[in-house]
Amino acid sequence: MTSRLNPYISFPGNARQALEFYHQVFGGNLNMNSYGDFGMEDAGVADKIMHGQLETRSGFTLMAADAPPGSEHRAGNNMSVSLSGDDAQELRGYWDQLSSSGTVSVPLERQMWGDEFGSCEDQFGVTWMVNIS
C-alpha cells in the first residue's frame, strides 16, 4: 500500500450518523469500529465510533471518529490530516519533521489495534495523525 493523505473529522458523538450520511452521498465502502470493539466497555462510550473509514468509488477517502473520552470537541478543532500506509520509513520521516517543532499529544508507538500511531500538532497549529500498518 502506498502512503495516503486524507481528512480525519472528529465528531461530538454522532460520527456513526455522519459517516452513514456521507456513505449515502458518495457511495463506496464504509467500515466502522466502536470503542467497545477495542475493549472500552464503559457506558456511553462503547457504541461510539473509534475509527470509521469511507472509501468511495471515485477514490475519495474520508475518516472520522467520535472525540475520545476526556478530549474537548468544539467547531474548529474537529479536523485533522491523516497520513497512513505501510512504508514505515517514509511515514516516520514525516512524523519526525511534523512533530519536531510542534506538540505531541500521542507518541508514535504500537497501539491496541496493532498499528503504530501518533498524533501531533505542528508549529502552525495543524493536527496530524500518522498510522503505520
Kindly give the confidence (pLDDT) of every residue in the chain, 133 residues in length, as a single tens digit, with 9 standing for 90 and above.
689 999 999 888 999 999 998 999 889 999 999 999 988 888 788 999 999 999 988 888 999 999 887 887 776 677 899 999 999 998 999 999 999 989 999 999 999 999 999 999 988 788 999 999 9
* pLDDT value of residue 23: 94
Pull the grid cell for residue 121: 500538532
Contact 40, 113 (CB under 8 A): no
State the CATH number of the domain containing residue 73: 3.10.180.10
SS3 content of the chain, % helix, strand, coil (to 5): 20, 40, 40
* pLDDT value of residue 106: 97
Q: How many domains are contained in the chain?
A: 1
* pLDDT value of residue 26: 85
Strands 127-132 and 79-85: parallel
Alpha-carbon span 84 to 4, nearest angstrom: 6
**CA angle in degrees (0–180, nearest 5) for 14-85-35:** 30
Residue 76, C-beta contacts closer than 8 angstroms, at least 6 positions apart: none
* pLDDT value of residue 122: 86
Print the domain residue range for 56.
4-132
Residue 27, C-beta contacts closer than 8 angstroms, at least 6 positions apart: 56, 57
